[in-house]
Amino acid sequence: MNYFFSIFYILSVCVLCIVVMPVRAEAQGDASLRVLVISEDDGNPIPGANVLLFSYDEKQQKEEIAYAGATNNDGLQEFNSVVSGEYRLVVRFIGYKTHQERVNLEKGELKVLKVTLSLGVETLDNIYIEAERDVTVGEVGLRKISAIDIGKIPTPGAGDLVSYLQTLPGVITSGDRGGQLFIRGGTPFQNMILVDNLPVIKPFHISNMFSAFPQEAVQSVDMYAGGFGAKYLGRTSAVIDVTLRPGNMKRYVSSASLGTHLLSLHLEGPVETDKKSFFIFGRKSLMEQTIPPITGNDAEIGFYDIIARYSFRSNNVSCNITGLRTYDRGQISRYRDIDLTWSNTVMGGRCLAYHEIFKEPVEFTIGYTDFRNSENPLDGMGLSAGISQIYFNFDHRFEMLGKIFNYGIGTRFVKYTAELNERFTQIQSFLERQGIVDAYVSTEWELNEHFVIQSSLGSQMSLANIPTLEPRLRISYRPDVNDDQEISLAAGRYYQIETGITDQRDAGTVFTVIRSGYGKITSNYKKPLQNALHLLLGYNNNIGNHWDLNIGVYAKKYISIPVSKWSPVATVNIETALANGLAYGFDALIEYNKNPFQFFMTYGWSKVRYKADSGNLGAWIKAPVFEFSPAHDRRHKFNVVANYQFSGFKASVSWGYGSGKPFTQIFGFDLSVNIPTRYPTTDPGTARTLYSRPYGERLPDYHRLDISLEKSFQINPQWSIKAEVGAINVYNRSNIFYFDANTLQRINQTPLMPFISIKTQFN
């Protein structure tokens, strides 16, 4: 323990020395320019704005683009190693007027400019398109999602991130309840979910139509289905990185919405104009009260979520303090008297300093996360488990050999707890604590106008394991000068210190036990860390100004996946067996955007196979090694989404198809008698379910059509009303969720479910 804290102390001192360094060394090379882009409408940063520096070519007697980029989520774009001289700065973004000004950069100078864009509709020209695509580097496995994208999916009340994610290829859910996402073969706990750089364990609600990230609260989302860089350490499958919208810095805005599914309230505004703002958004489910009279079925599910954000910004620093609280309660199967609950509590802050005194921008995050979940049968013998953690991350960069290197150091102090009844036969409760230190470094090489290489290296360390070594690589090749096409490749190794254990055979529960991945099996043997190898290849083609085509091929090799040991009685066993998995497939997405019509279509084919030692797994088969497809192995997935605007209306349609997923068929039932402690003549024994080959059968295919129609009414300049009507599962298909072996009941997913909502907003 003393050894660990010594390392932590040394790292903390190093970080402190970097942060408090008051003056940057005088630059000896070329100039640097930082451009902060702000919206005049609400005073907030504009992510994705195109920033261009034009220089005059004396030989060609015309201007040409010398440097191009796009602002990040903080509205910041930085150009390094700029040749000194005079430039014309151009900043453009859809829906805003173009900004232009002359900029003179001296040798060794670092200049920070603040640019404010005013609203106005402009036509995109060829230069804009070129600049936008010039910054699309190594996008394989990455889907950038905006609030507008989220609003394309018919969802009761408003658009929601999880409804949009379910339309993407490679994203699988267990059904319409449970709040679990499986991404390209990975389990839910192999996914990293961040909100404003703060980790959140399970932000998806018990109804899979909703999450803690509604359209109104989201600014942007980066979803990596694999191949992500070493900045993201600690998970082996996917990353969902959410940036929340800051509060309006100019004026107060409030809204309220009431519908068949949700009640929501929202308030935002300036604390100090153009400097400080707040944002508060809360929702509560009404499904338990409203769904039974609409569908004739019980809806034993309820949830709420609250998001609060305080933002501070000056010409030199930007800070956000974020709070998130979610709570879910209910039953997946109305035939079983088992209540499931889970909650998330997230608090923390993130600051980015980009003043001229810093040679490179400085970013740090500090926060606290707590997750609790439970399963409570009516007999009173409940299960509960959770994780809480305090963390600190520091990100910076330095220049060496003419290249910019990004690096980061993070520390986490984690506590795992569980209180379990006899369903868990080998342990009743546990309390574990551990400290984790991680670090990464990354850089980018632009070999020529066609090839760009991004490389990174990360490592994680705790007292229970030796440091990991996680190299990762992304390569981009753009064959066209105008960057209309891009071929990209990503590969890397990924380790995960923590593990989440649940019974994937039983879709009626999502209770999860979280613990360190280095749990002891015997006094002298420990389990290896679960890890994965990723290989992805992608092709992107921007066809004209309105069409986009993305095609991806991937393979993920999962090593040492913890799998609950099997038995004739459905149970989650803390002492898990280890399996190796292979997930591979391909997917395609084609998208069309030109008002008043938007459309996208996706298709994905995938295969997931696990392999484990039959003896360790507890499987009742003769083969020494058992190979099977887990419950989230869906071969085919197809989605079509379309939006059309006319006469002030917006119509949305979403249709999805999925082939059947594996399940374990019931062979029969009997009574188990433990002789000699029990006597068959007086004790009939314990009821037991006998299964056929594990995951040997597949459920029927799934498909569903959702529609919505909305209309906005502007009562006056400060007051507007939006009405929405629609329906889930329009043709009322009986899609099976699972067959409950405990009650011998078929559990179906959502039937035909009409919805209506009214939203009023004051500016």
Residue 12 has pLDDT above 60, yes or no: no
Q: How confident is the model at residue 586 (pLDDT cuts 50, 70, 90)?
A: very high
At residue 249, the pLDDT reads 92
Residue 21 has pLDDT above 70, yes or no: no
Is the pTM higher than 0.75? The answer reads yes
pLDDT 10s digits, 617-634: 766 677 788 899 999 999
Tell me the chain's radius of gyration from C-alpha atoms: 27
Residue 459 sits at the vertex; the CA angle it makes with 454 and 465, to the nearest 5 degrees, is 155
Residue 473 has pLDDT above 70, yes or no: yes
At residue 10, the pLDDT reads 41
Neighbours of 148 (CB within 10 A): 12
At residue 381, the pLDDT reads 65
Question: Which of the listed ranges 27-31, 32-36, 572-576, 649-653 does the model predict with the highest average pLDDT?
Answer: 649-653
β-bridge mates for residue 728, sequence order = 753
**CA-CA distance, 304 to 207, in Å (whole number)?**
11
Percent over 70 (pLDDT), the chain? 85
At residue 484, the pLDDT reads 78
pLDDT 10s digits, 330-350: 988 877 778 899 999 999 999
pLDDT 10s digits, 556-569: 999 998 887 776 65
Mean of pLDDT over the chain: 84
In terms of pLDDT, which residue wins out, 175 or 588? 588
The DSSP string of 528-581 is: PPEEEEEEEEEEEEEETTTEEEEEEEEEEEEEEEEEPPP-SS----SS-EEEEE
Percent over 90 (pLDDT), the chain? 49
- Cα-based torsion angle of the residue sequence 464, 241, 39, 255 in order, rounded to the nearest 10 degrees: -110
Residue 667 has pLDDT above 80, yes or no: no
At residue 32, the pLDDT reads 84
> How far apart, in Å, do the first and last CA atoms of the chain sit?
55
**CA-CA distance, 533 to 554, in Å (whole number)?**
11
pLDDT 10s digits, 385-438: 999 999 999 999 888 877 889 999 999 999 999 887 755 445 567 888 999 999
Q: Average pLDDT, stretch 474-498? A: 88
Residue 711 has pLDDT above 70, yes or no: yes
Let me know: does 656 contact 707? Beta carbons within 8 Å: no
pLDDT 10s digits, 346-380: 999 999 887 767 677 889 999 999 999 998 876 55
Q: How confident is the model at residue 684 (pLDDT cuts 50, 70, 90)?
A: low
φ and ψ of 555, to 5 deg? -145, 135
At residue 577, the pLDDT reads 81
At residue 260, the pLDDT reads 92
SS3 category, 694: coil
Residue 760 has pLDDT above 50, yes or no: yes
Let me know: does 232 contact 211? Beta carbons within 8 Å: no
Q: How confident is the model at residue 109 (pLDDT cuts 50, 70, 90)?
A: confident
713: Cα within 13 Å, side-chain hemisphere: 8
Q: Average pLDDT, stretch 117-139? A: 49
Position 73, amino acid:
N
Nearest residue to 363 via CA among 399, 317, 398, 321: 317
At residue 20, the pLDDT reads 40
pLDDT 10s digits, 589-609: 999 988 899 999 999 999 999
SS3 category, 60: coil
Residue 232 has pLDDT above 90, yes or no: yes
At residue 619, the pLDDT reads 63
Q: Average pLDDT, stretch 131-147? A: 65
At residue 685, the pLDDT reads 65
Let me know: does 606 contact 553? Beta carbons within 8 Å: no
Let me know: does 649 contact 709? Beta carbons within 8 Å: yes
Q: Average pLDDT, stretch 238-250? A: 94
Judging by DSSP bridges, how do beta strands 625-628 and 597-613 pair with one another? antiparallel
**CA-CA distance, 34 to 353, in Å (whole number)?**
12
Q: How confident is the model at residue 650 (pLDDT cuts 50, 70, 90)?
A: very high
Residue 205 has pLDDT above 50, yes or no: yes
In terms of pLDDT, which residue wins out, 294 or 155? 155
At residue 145, the pLDDT reads 92
β-bridge mates for residue 744, sequence order = none
At residue 679, the pLDDT reads 62
